[in-house]
């Protein structure tokens, strides 16, 4: 499926919305089994760069559509979950559009509210709206980083138990800001240190800054909650092979990491196709030459940016001679540490099994792609030669 016309020229937003939808749908259906109320807070709501009055290309409409769908799905299985959604927007013109839109959706059965003002100043009010208990998902999608993604800004929310976050980490802006002396205090607030990126290649620098930020987020512990975990997805510029931003996800549940990685895995191809089309459009604009084939047709599902040998080495480094159980929590640990998908671990484990270097004591020889059933806590070990 191609990119809808409203998203042409801003394919990164399409990808962001698809990821948000895919993850929210899985999350709400899981959480809805045990929570009576689910809250969703869009802290930088917009509407922003919308192409039509139906706001169909905004996170506002798309999140509400998912909430409506999950509410219906949960009711069908006897779970009468109350969904509440809060949208925060600073710009008054956008705020009025937002309010009108929310009024037009009164019949969805979702308790919605909009707040006008600056996110960081409204945090006490957001907190009050959420209440101290119950599940809340915070979507933090600013245009920059100031008063948005720094730790002192986010800490009060991060301390709230039973909360998850999806944060747009604007790498493109930030990476230009890091070297500037006048922003040192801000860098301290974002990374917890003044980053020392001397001598690093662009890739190493990106990985370094992202891991500093993720680790810093994890320093804020929720009251009485479990240790925070993070995962992230890289969003590239539509027509350049450079990172625009990372969507950093923070949860306290290992299952959250696994589900988030599944959602991003399914969307990898969506991003690749969207970028292939954007690049083709750009070539056409430059040369006015139509190309014979639609760009998206050539996009394969092959993984880029991951070497199977590295995954194999990771397995060999971590497996012991004595069998150990590998369950979902272990998978989440591995994904959090490496950023690799479950399919990467499966493929590498299959390869190592063929080479006779590892074994799954609970596996069967018939398995062709899922060599480890993490759901079943299977026993894995290195083969001693
Ligand atoms: C990147 S856009 C959000 C896009 C939206 N989440 C989406 O995906 O459709 C950021 C929005 O935040 C608003 N904004 C900027 N600074 C803000 C602040 N300090 N507090 C709240 N909203 C702010 C902007 O007016 C803009 O509508």
Q: Give the pLDDT confidence score for residue 300 in this predicted structure.
A: 64
Going by alpha carbons, the residue nearest to atom 8 of ligand 1 is 59
170-224 residue pLDDT tens: 998 888 888 888 889 999 999 999 999 889 999 999 999 999 999 999 999 887 7
Q: Nearest CA to 7 among 268, 275, 263? A: 275
SS3 115: strand
Mean pLDDT of all residues in 64-77? 97
- What is the C-alpha R_g of the chain? 22
Which range has the top average pLDDT, 121-135, 233-247, 261-275?
121-135
Assess whether the C-beta atom of 119 lies below 6 angstroms from ligand 1.
yes
Determine the residue of 61, 64, 90, 244 to mutate for testing ligand 1's pocket, defined as the one with the most ligand atoms within 8 A of the Cβ atom.
90
| Average pLDDT over the chain, rounded to an integer | 92
Please identify, by atom number, the ligand 1 atom nearest to the C-alpha of residue 57: 9
Say if ligand 1 is within 6 A of residue 46 CB. yes
What single string gives the DSSP state of each residue in 181-241? GGGHHHHHHHHSS----TT--HHHHHHHHHHHHHHHHTTSPPTT-PPPEEEEEEEE-SSSS
Domains in the chain and their CATH numbers?
5-279 (3.40.50.150), 308-382 (1.10.10)
- Using one digit for the tens of pLDDT, what is the confidence trace for 88-119? 999 999 999 999 999 999 989 999 999 999 99
pLDDT in tens, 294-340: 665 566 666 666 799 999 999 999 999 999 999 999 999 999 999 99
Q: Is 168 in the pocket of ligand 1 (CB under 6 A)?
A: no
State the pLDDT confidence band at 349, using cuts at 50, 70 and 90. very high
Ligand 1 atom with the shortest distance to the CA of 50: 9
Q: What residue's CA is closest to ligand 1, atom 18?
A: 118
238 lines ligand 1 (CB under 6 A): no
């Amino acid at each position: 499926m191609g990119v809808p016309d409203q998203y042409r020229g801003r394919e990164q937003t399409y990808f962001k919305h698809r990821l948000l939808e895919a993850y929210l749908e899985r999350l709400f259906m899981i959480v809805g089994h045990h929570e009576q109320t689910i809250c969703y807070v869009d802290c930088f709501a917009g509407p922003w760069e919308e192409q039509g009055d139906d706001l169909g290309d905004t996170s506002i409409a798309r999140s509400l559509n998912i909430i409506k769908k999950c509410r219906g799905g949960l009711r069908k299985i006897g779970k009468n979950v109350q969904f509440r959604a809060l949208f925060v927007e600073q710009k008054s013109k956008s705020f009025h559009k937002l309010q009108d839109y929310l009024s037009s959706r009164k019949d969805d059965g979702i308790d919605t509210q909009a707040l006008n003002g600056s996110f960081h100043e409204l945090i006490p009010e957001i907190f009050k709206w959420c209440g101290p208990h119950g599940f809340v998902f915070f979507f933090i999608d600013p245009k920059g980083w100031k008063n948005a993604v720094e730790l002192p800004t986010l800490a009060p929310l991060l301390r709230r138990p039973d909360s998850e976050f999806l944060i747009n980490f604007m790498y493109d802006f930030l990476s230009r800001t890091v070297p500037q002396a006048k922003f040192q205090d801000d860098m301290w607030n974002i990374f917890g240190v003044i980053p020392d990126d001397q001598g690093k290649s662009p890739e190493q620098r990106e990985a370094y800054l992202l891991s500093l930020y993720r680790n810093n987020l994890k320093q804020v512990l929720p009251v009485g909650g479990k240790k925070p975990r993070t995962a992230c997805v890289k969003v590239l510029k539509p027509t350049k092979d450079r990172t625009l931003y990372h969507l950093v996800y923070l949860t306290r549940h290992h299952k959250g990491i696994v589900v988030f990685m599944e959602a991003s895995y399914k969307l990898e191809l969506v991003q690749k196709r969207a970028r292939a089309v954007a690049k083709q459009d750009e070539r056409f604009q430059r040369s006015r030459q139509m190309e014979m084939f639609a760009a998206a047709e050539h996009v394969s599902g092959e993984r880029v940016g991951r070497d199977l040998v590295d995954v194999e080495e990771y397995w060999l480094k971590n497996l012991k001679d004595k069998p150990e159980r590998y369950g979902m929590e272990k998978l989440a640990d591995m994904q959090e540490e490496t950023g690799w998908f479950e399919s990467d671990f499966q493929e590498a484990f299959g390869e190592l099994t063929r080479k006779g270097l590892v074994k799954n004591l609970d596996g069967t020889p018939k398995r062709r792609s899922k060599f480890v059933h993490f759901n079943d806590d299977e026993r894995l070990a290195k083969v001693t030669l």
